[in-house]
Amino acid sequence: MTSESRRSRSTSGQRKAISLRFKVNVIQAYEAATDAQKTFYCIGKEFGVQTGQVSRWVKAKDKITARAVFNPSALTVNAGRPVTNPAVEAKVLEYFNTLQQDDIAISTNMLIIYALSVDSDFHGGQPNALKKWVYMFLQRHNLVIRRPTRRAQKRSGQLTAIMEDFGTTLVARFAPFGTLAKVAGRCFVNMDETPLPLEPEVKTTIATKGSRTVSARKCTSSNPRVTVCLAIVSDGTKLPPFVVFKGVPGARIDSNLEAIVPAGLFATCQEKAFMDSDLTKKWFNSVWKPHVANEASRAPRPPSACQAQHHHRHVDQEIVADHGIGHPHSHMPSAIDLTPYVASTSPTPRSYTYAWGYVCLGRRFHPK
């Protein structure tokens, strides 16, 4: 017996909704009954439903049990609106099963991007429609979003496959009729940032044999490092380095950097010496934009592309919107190509996936 009401109608006289789970229990009770108890009347009386209801449920046993497997809480065997594009969903489900077998973390954005790679006009490419579709897709296939209960290191073969897939996809973008076909080599820039320690960690030193006290001074900062943002053009040209020191923006250290740093080098300060979104904007304005403007002075004006490492501190939604991604009528000849190396091991913000989808699929999305 279930926890649902034993009466098919409430005390107010209104008809009560009965789930498929309850109907399956009624059908199973009818099939398990023997002799004189195996009647629609007896089963209906036991469960508090009408005789005709039991009769209809037993006759529709196949439909009820088949639908209850996917959604036992449903109130009807009707599966709802038909799937818009079952062929695409079949490929997305196959993609999901492949990743799940390899214990690869899967996000809803990954399913959306894969669906668009199969059919670039899937649901019109509208973000809101795609978001609704992906959650209905999870419901239709009995899938849920869960936190991992076991974590393991990725296999080297999986990382190699990711690298090869990315390289193949990027090369295809430069092929004729690709989204980056018109980008000249001098206009394709790869940018990454790397932390550099100001001094190595002091583990050993040389002292007099037999000395009881061995002293060694170290940097007073709890974060003795700087971050250097390096960029190189595909033709081998190196853009000016962008160095981030630990310090308060606008304070004493930051205000003295301009007089200290040599020409051809840009430097600034951040509380933790991180390359955050504000400094990424500063890098765009001080390093990348001058390079693009110099190339744009040539005739004809070539389009440009910047490849940035995937990190929410590097490229946020505002940067994506300001530099061409997300605006169908943007006049800035730029695109931000985000590498999936880090994205494959961490959740991907929607603005990143739409930017990546633009480069892969040649479509522009407006990140909400």
Count of C-beta atoms within a 10 Å radius of residue 138: 15
pLDDT at 304: 63
**Backbone φ and ψ of 189, nearest 5°:** -115, 135
pLDDT at 210: 84
CB 292 within 8 A of CB 324: no
Residue with the larger pLDDT of the pair 321 and 288:
288
pTM, two decimals, is 0.47
Q: Under 8 Å CB-to-CB from 197, ≥6 apart: which residues?
A: 224, 225
Q: Give percent above pLDDT 90 in the chain.
A: 8
**Backbone φ and ψ of 314, nearest 5°:** -90, -50
C-alpha dist (Å) from residue 354 to 278, 317, 360: 21, 10, 10
The secondary structure of residue 213, as a DSSP letter, is: -
Task: Answer yes or no: is pLDDT of 112 > 60.
Answer: yes
Tell me which residue of 282, 279, 286 sits closest to 311, measured CA to CA: 279
Integer Cα distance of 320 and 338 in angstroms: 11
Amino acid identity, position 81: R
Residue with the larger pLDDT of the pair 137 and 222:
137
Q: 71-85, 201-215, 229-243, 339-353: lowest mean pLDDT where? A: 339-353
pLDDT at 9: 52
Residue with the larger pLDDT of the pair 237 and 224:
237
Q: Under 8 Å CB-to-CB from 177, ≥6 apart: which residues?
A: none
Task: List the structure tokens of 200.
Answer: 């190595």
Q: 1-5, 34-38, 243-247: lowest mean pLDDT where? A: 1-5
Task: Answer yes or no: is pLDDT of 366 > 60.
Answer: no
pLDDT at 135: 92
Output the CA torsion sign for 54, 59, 61, 66.
negative
Residue with the larger pLDDT of the pair 239 and 340:
239
Please, which pLDDT band fits residue 307 given cuts at 50, 70 and 90? low
pLDDT at 319: 54
Integer Cα distance of 56 and 286 in angstroms: 74
Count of C-beta atoms within a 10 Å radius of residue 88: 20
Residue with tokens 């961490």: 346
Average pLDDT over residues 344-358: 42
Task: Answer yes or no: is pLDDT of 99 > 90.
Answer: no
Average pLDDT over residues 185-212: 76
Tell me which residue of 109, 124, 185, 171 sits closest to 360, measured CA to CA: 171
Task: Answer yes or no: is pLDDT of 359 > 50.
Answer: no
Residue with the larger pLDDT of the pair 67 and 132:
132
CB 288 within 8 A of CB 263: no
Q: What is the pLDDT of residues 248-302, one digit of tens each?
A: 888 877 888 877 888 888 888 888 888 777 888 888 888 888 887 776 666 555 5
**Range with the largest mean pLDDT of 126-130, 154-158, 247-251:** 126-130
Query: Cis omega (within 30 of 0) on the bond before 349?
Result: no
Amino acid identity, position 82: P
Task: For the chain, give the mean pLDDT.
Answer: 74
Run of H or E including 88: helix 86-101
DSSP secondary structure of 177-238: TSTTTT--GGGEEEEEEEEEESS---------TT-S-------SSSS-EEEEEEEEETTSPB
Please, which pLDDT band fits residue 327 given cuts at 50, 70 and 90? very low
CB 274 within 8 A of CB 227: yes
Average pLDDT over residues 7-21: 68
pLDDT at 314: 53
Q: Under 8 Å CB-to-CB from 358, ≥6 apart: which residues?
A: 179, 325, 335, 364, 365
Burial of 121 (0-12, 13-18, 19+ CB in 10 A): exposed
Residue with tokens 């818009």: 84
Q: In 3-state terms, what secondary structure has residue 145? A: coil
Average pLDDT over residues 195-200: 74
pLDDT at 311: 52
Integer Cα distance of 35 and 197 in angstroms: 84
pLDDT at 94: 93
Integer Cα distance of 43 and 30 in angstroms: 6
The secondary structure of residue 133, as a DSSP letter, is: H
Residue with tokens 């599966």: 79
Integer Cα distance of 112 and 363 in angstroms: 13
Please, which pLDDT band fits residue 222 given cuts at 50, 70 and 90? low
